[in-house]
Amino acid sequence: MRIVLKPFTLVLALALFLVNLVIETTAWLFSWVAFWIFLLLGIFGIIAIVQHMWQELLMLGGILKR
């Protein structure tokens, strides 16, 4: 059995393929950027918490004054 596609069907298939490719690429890029942003925010958050804890410990020991 031979499948014959009309030119309109080929153009429609190509257009839908390209639209799908653009949408998937955009979604992938946004998710990748969001991943790195949240990773950096998490790292900076941990650094800020550790720095604050260190300052409180030094003040508790009398090494650092307010």
> Which domain range does residue 28 map to?
8-66
Asked whether residue 2 is assigned to any structural domain, the reply reads no
Asked whether residue 43 is assigned to any structural domain, the reply reads yes
Letter string b/e over residues 28-65, b meaning 16 or more CB atoms within 10 A of that residue's CB: eeeeeeeeeeeeeeeeeeeeeeeeeeeeeeeeeeeeee
Summarize pLDDT for 3-22 with one digit per residue, the tens. 777 888 889 999 999 999 99
pTM above 0.85, yes or no: no
Asked whether residue 54 is assigned to any structural domain, the reply reads yes
Summarize pLDDT for 12-60 with one digit per residue, the tens. 999 999 999 999 999 999 999 999 999 999 999 999 999 999 988 888 8
Number of domains within the chain: 1
Quick one: which H or E segment has residue 36?
helix 7-60
Asked whether residue 3 is assigned to any structural domain, the reply reads no
Asked whether residue 48 is assigned to any structural domain, the reply reads yes
Tokens of 12: 């429609």
